[in-house]
Amino acid sequence: MYSWTALITAQILVEVPWNILGSTLYFLTWYWTSRFTTERAGYAYLGIGVLLPIYYTTVAQAIASMAPNAEVAAILFGFLFSFVITLYVVLFPHAPSAFDDPLSSVTV
């Protein structure tokens, strides 16, 4: 019988390329249709197309290894990943705008 480290390593090595492929298709249909500039496309692809799939795959594997069955693992992953998304929105620095500067000459 294999050890749990061999199982997790094999599952991550199989899932990560498929996740990157799916994220690449998502990125190609999303980034330029949203009219973002191409100067930051590589950095955005690295974050959305490579690092995010690796992150949520490993977090899902860690939660699935703690859960007693697949149903509980799915519920726990959805619940705990909602905290990740919530903290991302709260801690992400927003772009400066005219509304942030009280001395701005722009009137609304």
This prediction has a pTM of 0.64
Domain assignment present for 7? no
| HSE, side-chain direction, 13 A CA sphere, residue 85 | 7
Per-residue pLDDT at 76: 93
The sign of the torsion formed by the CA atoms of 28, 34, 39, 41 equals: negative
User: Which residues lie closer than 8 Å to 65 by C-beta, 6 or more apart?
Assistant: 4, 8
Domain assignment present for 93? no
Domain assignment present for 91? no
Per-residue tens of pLDDT for the chain, all 108 residues: 567 788 778 888 898 889 989 999 999 998 888 888 888 889 889 988 888 888 888 888 888 888 899 899 999 999 988 887 787 666 555 555 545 555 555 454
Domain of 69, in residue numbers: 14-85
Per-residue pLDDT at 102: 53
Count of Cβ atoms closer than 10 Å to residue 82 Cβ: 10
Domain assignment present for 66? yes
Domain assignment present for 64? yes
Query: Residue 101, by phi and psi: left (phi above 0), alpha (psi -120 to 50) or beta?
Result: beta
Domain assignment present for 33? yes
Per-residue pLDDT at 72: 93
Domain count, the chain: 1
Domain assignment present for 3? no
Question: How large is the C-alpha radius of gyration of the chain?
Answer: 19
